[in-house]
Amino acid sequence: MIIGIGVDVVDLARFERAVGRTPALRERVFTPAERDLPLRSLAGRFAAKEALIKAIGDSTGVRWHDMEVVSDDLGNPGFVLHNAVAAITEARGIRSIHLSMSHDAGIAIAYVVVEG
């Protein structure tokens, strides 16, 4: 059963300006494994984290590092959850999280479906 869905879009040029103005943004939002990726990939991961918060329907106590976007052996994206996000998903009975990301034409987009 679908518990929630979330989608987020990031303007790549605006994201690049934000990271340029505030270099600490990389450390604040992204885990060490994510930080050195190209900006378009970081924008997609930012959108994924925003979409996940929307899909689970609660951001109480959530920190950016509680959600890490990873790729499986085939390159498919997914999440590793920690702390508040892990607790929220467990409390809501979420058993599966589906993530799709893309970037093109100056935008990055992420779509998340959570199931219980």
The band of 111, judged by pLDDT with boundaries at 50, 70 and 90, is very high
Angle at 112 between CA 90 and CA 14, to 5 degrees: 120
For the chain, the first-to-last Cα distance in angstroms comes to: 6
Summarize pLDDT for 9-51 with one digit per residue, the tens: 999 999 999 999 999 999 999 999 999 999 999 999 999 999 9
* Structure confidence at residue 82 (pLDDT): 97
pTM, full prediction: 0.96
The H-or-E segment that residue 40 falls in is helix 39-56
CATH superfamily, region 2-115: 4'-phosphopantetheinyl transferase domain (3.90.470.20)
What's the mean per-residue pLDDT of the chain? 97
